[in-house]
Amino acid sequence: MSAAAQDAPRVRARDLGVAPGIFSPGSNNAITDVAGVRVGQVTLSEGDTVRTGVTAILPHPGNAYRSRVPAALHVGNGFGKFIGSTQVNELGELETPILLTCTLCVWKAADAMADWMLAQPDMQQVRSLNVVVGETNDGGLNDIRARPVTAAAVRRALETAKSGPVQEGSVGAGTGTVAFGWKGGIGTSSRKLPESLGGWTVGVLVQANFGGVLQVEGAPVGRELDRYAFQNAVAAQGNVRGLADDRGDGSVIIVVATDAPLSDRNLRRLASRGMMGLGRTGSSASNGSGDYVLAFSTAESVRRGFDAAQLQTTELANEQMSAVFQASVDAVEESVYNALFMATTVSGNGQTVEAIPLDKVREVLQQHGVKAPR
């Protein structure tokens, strides 16, 4: 199948009638629907070998060190590197933006963000900084050993971060990623709760680079398209095309933002639900997959000043968490679909990874009765 056939046109999940869950999305159906959250992305596509990039998520427009948001990290499977994770879980807060990039570039990205943060106004006396950087391995399409992410690319991602629509697919930290044997990438989605359930917004962004047996709202897309994990072991012909991963290995970073006023304890609970959304798409969190979910709250009532002597916060009670959980699970699921459906075929480093053929996906969805809700 030609690249043109694979890539024309690319659409989001809802354009295929795929709308997981019961709650409506925000205006952009993106993590930026959480007020104040901004996303910046830099795509590095150089020569025949470099296919990688940086995605930056800024929790609010101010100085993240001076005005900290509560946060928590859930590790679904820890085969990966997540810089800054121990302090996030110890103190329950973020003090920098979040960066996503490729595996062997995490330290370069962390160093560049540290320089950028320390150069900000009112940071001259700071002598400790917990930068937060996640990664997935794009070493198939990208010459990962060249460690091509530069400080300039990191600064550009941070300084160009904006609200509004978020570019998806083969961009930023998703430039060289692979998911379910097809081209993966960056995906995002959001949910707005009814006012009777608090009216809170939950937004998700994923860096999809993992495997498994793809299903879309229960439709067995991976099996029907003859590309899935362990295919060699179960299929008589034993023939996996392209870069399909026979063990479902890979990684995924899931970032969950909300304006619900949550403590780091309840953010840890929220983060753990991200794995439920991931499981709906067909992942089993394989041994070789680094599956991390980072959740944070932007609510002013739970914000923490860096030098505060006491914290006086107003936070959501446990009994009010269930709808927020539901929203996050649904938004994670849809974010993964958006990453896949918006990704384009990419060649690099001597390999080509095809975008999932959306015409075939439509056929499978129709056969299995998947359609958008009324």
Instruction: Examine the residue annotation and report whether 291 is marked as an active-site residue of this protein.
Output: yes
* Active-site option among 163, 291, 328, 330: 291
Q: Are residues 183 and 24 in contact, defined by beta-carbon separation less than 8 angstroms?
A: no
CA pair distance 30, 339, nearest whole angstrom: 12
Q: What's the per-residue H, E or C state across the chain?
A: CCHHHHHCCCCCHHHHCCCCCCCECCCCCCHHHCCCCEEEEEEEEECCCEEEEEEEEECCCCCCCCEEEEEEEEEEEECCCCECHHHHHHHCEECCCEEEEEHHHHHHHHHHHHHHHHCCCCCCCCCCCCCEEEEECCCCCCCHHHCCCCHHHHHHHHHCCECCCCCCECCHHHCCCEECCEECEEEEEEEECCHHHCCCEEEEEEEEECCCCCCECCECHHHHCCCCCCHHHHCCCCCCCCCCCCCCCEEEEEEEEECCCCCHHHHHHHHHHHHHHHHHCCCCCCCCEEEEEEEEECCHHHCEECCCCCCCCCCCCHHHCHHHHHHHHHHHHHHHHHHHHHCCCEEECCEEECCCCHHHHHHHHHHCCCCCCC
Assigned token pair, 230: 């362990």
* Active-site option among 170, 251, 263, 328: 251
CA pair distance 108, 106, nearest whole angstrom: 6
Q: Residue holding tokens 């080509």?
A: 352
* Active-site option among 170, 289, 328, 335: 289
- So which residues are the catalytic ones? 251, 289, 291
